[in-house]
């Protein structure tokens, strides 16, 4: 059974304090690893897709990386508007369905 | 495109009543997914369709849940009869062919009292 584990569950940062969120996975045949952001009361919003180990993608203050066992979402010099829950999900050879982790709730304070 | 549209946004119903949730996917997306989100279990896939055909319904919790996709622009998730433990936020998502990103709707918050 595919498993996705995210850590930490919650993270509190000061504005400008860089950090990383972790997503470790155990799957049979990774087709893609996805990062989403979810704000309260809203649906998940797509951030990145990574397909193979060694791949990296960046968007503003966010950078996602992928190894054979885990993915990291690096947040550089975060701002309060980066506060959200960040979800990691995997798509495997069993179909196009996504298996989600339980997320990291990030709060960035002034 | 307006994105994935779900209705209603909020639904409060009494135990035993039938509930129908609706979803309009993004035009041109031939994959459609129904997810349920709770604090305890996070986001769980219930069922997904490809070209209007149900492909995997292994996540549907029990026979009280059913989903249909009569055409490419509309899908429903029905719960009959509803129970308090069905209270959750239900999301619909769609995507293009391949292992591409899924776009989510705003969700329907269901409360069964």
Closest residue of B to A100, CA-based?
A: B43
Taking alpha carbons only, the member of B31, B72, B1, B103 closest to residue A42 is B103
pLDDT score, position A97? 83
Q: Find the residue in A nearest to B4 (Cα).
A: A43
Residue numbers of B between 27 and 86 with CB closer than 8 Å to A: 31, 33, 42-45, 48, 50, 55-56
pLDDT band per the 50, 70, 90 thresholds, residue A81 = very high
CA distance A54 to A110: 34
What pLDDT score does A10 carry? 98
| Beta-carbon-side half-sphere exposure of residue A60 (alpha carbons within 13 Å) | 6
Of B91, B99, B106, the CB nearest to A96: B99
Is pLDDT above 80 for B79?
yes
Nearest CA in chain A to B88: A41
Query: Is residue A68 pLDDT above 80, yes or no?
Result: yes
Contact A44 B91 (CB under 8 A): yes
User: What are the backbone angles phi and psi of residue A53, rounded to the nearest 5°?
Assistant: -60, 135
Tell me the sheet residues that pair with A100: A89
Rounded average pLDDT over B8-30 = 97
Contact, B21 vs B69, CB < 8 A? no
Q: What is the mean pLDDT of chain A?
A: 94
pLDDT score, position B63: 92
Please tell me the distance from the alpha carbon of residue B25 to that of residue B65, in angstroms, as a whole number: 20
Q: Among residues A92, A81, A36, which one has the least CA distance to residue B37?
A: A36
B40-72 pLDDT tens trace: 899 999 999 999 999 999 999 889 999 999 999
CA distance A90 to chain B (A): 10
pLDDT at residue B35 is higher than 60: yes
Q: Find tokens 């950078």 and name the residue.
A: A63
CA A77 – CA A79 distance, rounded (Å): 7
| Interchain CB distance below 8 Å, A97 and B101 | no
């Amino acid at each position: 059974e595919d498993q996705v584990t995210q850590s930490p569950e919650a993270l509190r940062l000061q504005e400008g304090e860089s950090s990383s969120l972790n997503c470790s996975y155990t799957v049979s045949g990774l087709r893609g690893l996805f990062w989403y952001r979810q704000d309260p009361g809203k649906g998940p919003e797509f951030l990145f897709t990574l397909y193979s180990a060694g791949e990296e993608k960046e968007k503003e203050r966010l950078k996602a990386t992928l190894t054979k066992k885990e993915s990291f979402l690096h947040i550089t010099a975060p701002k309060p508007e980066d506060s959200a829950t960040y979800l990691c999900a995997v798509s495997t050879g069993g179909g196009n369905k996504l298996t989600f982790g339980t997320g990291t709730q990030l709060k960035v304070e002034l | 495109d307006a994105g994935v549209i779900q209705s209603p946004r909020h639904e409060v119903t009494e135990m035993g009543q039938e509930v129908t949730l609706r979803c309009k996917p993004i035009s041109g997306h031939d994959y459609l997914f129904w997810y349920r989100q709770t604090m305890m279990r996070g986001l769980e896939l219930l069922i997904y369709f490809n070209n209007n055909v149900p492909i995997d319904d292994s996540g549907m919790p029990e026979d009280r849940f059913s989903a249909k996709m009569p055409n490419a622009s509309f899908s429903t998730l029905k719960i009959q009869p509803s129970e308090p433990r069905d209270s959750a936020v239900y999301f619909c998502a769609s995507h293009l062919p391949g292992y591409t990103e899924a776009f989510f709707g705003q969700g329907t918050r269901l409360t069964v009292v």
